[in-house]
Chain A
Amino acid sequence: MKNALYLAWKSLLWQRGRSLTILLSLAITIWLPVTVRLVLDQFRREISERANATPLVLGAKGSRIDLALHALYFDTLPPADTNMAEVESIDILSTANAAAYAIPLHVRYRTQSRPGIEGAVIVGTSPEYFEFRRLKVAEGQTISLLGDCVVGSNVATKMQLHPGDSILSAPRNAFNLAGDYPLKMKVVGVMAQSHSPDDDAVFTDVRTTWVIDGIGHGHQELNPQTDSQLLLKNDTGTGSVTANAAVLPYTEITEDNIDSFHFHGEPASFPLTAILIEPETEKSRTQILGRYSSSLATAQCLKPPEVIEELLSIVFRIEQLAWVCSIAAGVVTCLLLGLVVNLSMRLRESEMQTMFRLGCSRTTIAMLHGSEILLLLCSASVLAGVAALLTLQFAASVLRSLLF
């Protein structure tokens, strides 16, 4: 075998052009299905990992997939808002031996775009979110005051943000002059890379997103002595005043004006786009699911792994198509390889005749041809394997950006 391999190697080297062509054809044929498989596996793993790490998601009734994608990847908008009352009801439901934690999410706004850089999604949540997702602050500190924000590692890199910088929220509708104002948020920290959608988000306290929403605001102090041009109504008897549109809300929360910020309305009615729930026990999990399984329930509670699996089963039908294409390409390559080997054998007939005349055994003649094919197949497999790993390495970030 050693001699056959040696002669095959020399022959392949001698016919470099032919060998290289066959090698590349084989390598591509092997690389394609292997890479598709590995990339899709990585896709499946990454998308499932986050879903598996999220036991329950609560949100407005409607599309389950939209809600799951929104709560997990901050992608798509939920059909409708839910509110803080649901968070409170989870807290009430939670007892000492069946505890569950509710983490509010308000994901409706983005930061303002910069030239060539798309604005990042603003995630309003509670400090528990960082613990829940095991996120660490790489630089600076976590959010503590209204108007503070921490930025994901990718956002920090793209926008070159550091603690002490500031970032503006983008109004949802630029043409609505009476709509929400951009809020200038103070960057107090940068998160460590987590290879998840959290890297591309800006985190702030949920109350800050309500400020962006216009539910809360801060403005100059108003009292009966305030300039009447700023007041719509001044009840001197009760001392209550109503401001008119001339009173502009603050667009930045600072140490000087933070005390003037206040919220209008019932806190329980403040909107959320989703709620992440972490039940500590099976009992609490069952209780929560039971509560929201009723048709009379005010919201829906879903198990993200199930929803994502449902979604993947649809998405991964394309994998079968990729396999069919790969098999077809493989068959064509094998046929072409057979043709090349056949032609090559004809060209080398005089060489084989010489071998035979010298006393070459039948086995060796077969092994000479076999060794060439074996060497080509092994080299092509190694090449395809390395190429697949490299593709996976470099495609991972592209894939992640496509995913999240």
Chain B
Amino acid sequence: MIAINQLTFSYRDETFRLRIPVLTLESGRSAVIVGPSGSGKTTFLNLIAGILPSSGGEIRVGHTDVHRLTDNDRRLFRLLNVGQVFQDFQLIDYLNVLDNVLLPCRIHPSVTVTKILRERASLLLQSLEMSSFERRSVTCLSQGERQRVAICRALLLSPQVVLADEPTGNLDPVNAERIVRLLRTETRRSGATLIMVTHDHSLLPQFDQIIPFEQFLERTAADKNDLQVAEGDT
């Protein structure tokens, strides 16, 4: 479960301020975040993952208040509890498909590659019809195939939360729907909470919860002035 209470965030130059009074996402459920560009969707995902520090309030993932952790603990927490699928996949070019999926086991001293994890990686690839690509370089894959590898990587350590930032942004409608279905199926199977950011409104019916994000964005004084000038012009 993800519980957010009085969360605030702003960048140093105060041009952007985010305030989320209360937001709760149950385990095993899926939520989709929609909103215009610049409304803080990606920032919100980064706050949940502990990549960005909040200005105030709390974010609880399970029983952990993410922002009370030290930097090192937050990294480990992210590695073990948060699976991430990035818009541009962010696969490592010099590793093959299997090594990319196993990457979370190679980047922290607390997690190591075990036989079980190798088998899990192979199973995940098999479930996404990528078994035959295990030893292939990721640079030889299509967009859809790369996306599937990124999903496998996000699910490898059975995280509590899967954050997907516009994972279908580069895909055609058929593949986009397929990817969302995959993410939904895999997270439901592992009991993880799925939070996905998208601009594609045709995908919304597949999610349990829709969060319009514009409501959480606080306009700064400068923004308000700009808005008034714009209204006066019209």
Contact = CB atoms under 8 A, between A and B. Distances in A.
Given A7-B106, A10-B99, A355-B107, A361 B72 contact: yes
B107 A3 contact: yes
B75 A359 contact: yes
Interface stretch (B60-68, B108-116, B202-210, B218-226): B108-116
Q: How large is the interface on B (under 10, 10 to 19, 20 to 34, 35 or more residues)?
A: 20 to 34
B41 interface: no
Interface of A: 3-4, 6-7, 10-11, 13-15, 350-351, 354-364
Interface of A is mostly: helix
B130 to A, nearest CB: 19
Contacts of B76: 359, 361
10 contacts: A6-B106, A356-B75, A357-B86, A359-B75, A359-B78, A359-B82, A359-B108, A360-B108, A361-B109, A362-B72
Interface string B41-79: 000000001010000000000000000000110011111
9 nearest CB pairs, A to B: A359-B79, A14-B94, A360-B107, A3-B106, A359-B78, A354-B90, A359-B75, A361-B108, A10-B94
A121 to B, nearest CB: 62
Nearest to A367: B109
Interface string B74-112: 011111101010100010111100010001111111001
Interface of B: 49, 51, 71-72, 75-80, 82, 84, 86, 90, 92-95, 99, 103-109, 112-113, 153
A364 B108 contact: yes
Nearest to A1: B109
Given A3-B107, A6-B106, A364-B107, A358 B84 contact: yes
A148 to B, nearest CB: 73
Contact of B107 (A11, A13, A14, A358): A358
A151 B76 CA distance: 78
Contacts of B82: 359
Nearest to B96: A10
Nearest to A363: B109
A3 B94 contact: no
A363 B76 CA distance: 12
B72 A358 contact: no
Contacts of B106: 3-4, 6-7
